Chain A
Amino acid sequence: MYNARYVIPALLVFIILITLPFWVNVVTPEYSRPELVLPAGAEACVEPVEYMRAEHMRLLNEWRDAALREGKRVYTSSTGQVWDINLQNTCMHCHTDKAGFCDACHDSNSVDPYCWDCHIEPGAVTGASGNGGKQ
């Protein structure tokens, strides 16, 4: 082999560099799911918790399009419950702690949804009330 004393060390450096994420992952502590502040006094969300955990963003997109574009503002869940489609008055009626619930997961997963650029989080202003959209 020509220039083996240059080629082989260079190959080793290349392999180490390209597998660097794995080595970093080995030495850093394991990811742990953040502790969320769950709403007190609420027995169930609009859908089963496993579905909400994985797919709440899809549900919110569907809610937005149904309410705004089709004018359908009432949601009957797979469990038969009937809810008003409303982020501020239904979702965040129970999930009042944005920092402890929404932000805890979003921050640890490095996602930055723009919901609260416009929607008002509970406690930001006084006067929010109602029955939480449950019918």
Chain B
Amino acid sequence: MKRRQFLQAVMATAAVSLVPSLPLGAAPGRETFSEGSKALKAGRWAMVIDTRKMNDPRLQKKVIEACHSRHNVPDIEGPQEIKWIWTDSYDHTFPEQLNNYPAQTLTDRRFLLLCNHCENPPCVRVCPTQATFKRDDGIVVMDYHRCIGCRFCMAGCPYGARSFNFSDPQEYVKTPNPKFPMRMRGVVEKCTFCSEQLAKGELPYCVQASEGGILFGDLNDPASDVRKALLSAISIRRKPSLGTQPGVYYIL
């Protein structure tokens, strides 16, 4: 073979290989993703908990049950418990309130706690896989597919809002909700501000079950329920000195 022929053959082979291989199926290309017409939108989702109303143990139990049953949160006793929303005492909830003689109406109360969906979430900063991240509307969510179970976020969260699945959680869910996924061993889970409910145009389960004791709305909208409630009453947030800017407010 002459040099010229060889080069021609090489070029011909290369040209043929550049022809794209036949597609396996009719590849779409016109498909689109959208948010849906019913989805609730906000610049910054926030929650206001009226602790005067939400001090009722029956109501607290109802709210916790509404969340945990719908989200398949396992019911585990002891140090390996899993919780999305729970209650605690005044001095555990607000350790930065340094008044040595707080009002007894406050110290007697139990406070509903959940993920604060911080403006500056430490859990997001420390997550090595971006499994947890903050959405544009301020909600801090988990992508369980990416979680590697390193628990940095649990160390980072100053509010104890994250729980680790030390064992298969599905054995501890008595009546699973078939419309919502479960979790597996080795991932961290927490409250999602019911982002799946907001996408359907409905309010979070805890808000629905609270009989008016929990408000939910857009912090950027001065006419929203949460902004009006914050204007009209004294409210505090948990551990404000850390600079996380929590999105959950407590009316005292």
Chain A positions within 8 Å of B, measured between CB atoms, are 47-55, 62, 64, 66, 68-78, 84-85, 87-89, 114, 117-120, 122, 124-128, 130
A77 and B195 in contact (CB under 8 A), knowing A48-B26, A119-B181, A120-B182? no
Q: Chain A residues with Cβ under 8 A from B137's Cβ?
A: 71
B29 and A78 contact, CB distance less than 8 A: yes
Q: Decide yes or no whether B32 CB sits under 8 A from chain A.
A: yes
5 closest A-B pairs by beta carbon, nearest first, are A50-B25, A78-B28, A51-B25, A128-B178, A54-B24
A66 and B33 in contact (CB under 8 A), knowing A51-B25, A78-B28? yes
A118 and B182 contact, CB distance less than 8 A: yes
A72 and B35 contact, CB distance less than 8 A: yes
A71 and B31 contact, CB distance less than 8 A: no
B34 and A120 contact, CB distance less than 8 A: no
From B31, B143, B180, A77 is in contact (CB under 8 Å) with B31
B28 and A47 contact, CB distance less than 8 A: yes
A88 and B29 contact, CB distance less than 8 A: no
B179 and A54 contact, CB distance less than 8 A: no
A75 and B33 contact, CB distance less than 8 A: yes
A55 and B24 in contact (CB under 8 A), knowing A47-B31, A120-B181? yes
Q: Chain B residues with Cβ under 8 A from A125's Cβ?
A: 175-178
Closest partner residue, chain A, to B185 (CB atom): A117
A74 and B34 contact, CB distance less than 8 A: yes
B25 and A55 contact, CB distance less than 8 A: yes
Chain B positions within 8 Å of A, measured between CB atoms, are 24-36, 39, 133, 135-137, 141, 143-145, 175-184, 195-196, 199
A73 and B29 contact, CB distance less than 8 A: no
A118 and B25 contact, CB distance less than 8 A: no
B183 and A118 contact, CB distance less than 8 A: yes
CA distance A70 to B33 in the complex (A): 9
B35 and A51 contact, CB distance less than 8 A: no
- 8 A-B pairs (CB sep. < 8 Å): A68-B145, A69-B143, A71-B35, A73-B35, A74-B33, A74-B35, A75-B31, A78-B31
Count chain A CB atoms within 10 A of each CB in B30, B32, B175 and give the residue with the most.
B32
Q: Chain B residues with Cβ under 8 A from A128's Cβ?
A: 178-179
CA distance A12 to B184 in the complex (A): 52
A103 to chain B, nearest CB (A): 18
Q: Chain B residues with Cβ under 8 A from A117's Cβ?
A: 184
CA distance A124 to B196 in the complex (A): 22
A76 and B179 contact, CB distance less than 8 A: no
CA distance A85 to B195 in the complex (A): 14
B124 to chain A, nearest CB (A): 13
Q: Chain B residues with Cβ under 8 A from A68's Cβ?
A: 141, 143, 145
A47 to chain B, nearest CB (A): 6
CA distance A49 to B24 in the complex (A): 11
B25 and A48 contact, CB distance less than 8 A: yes
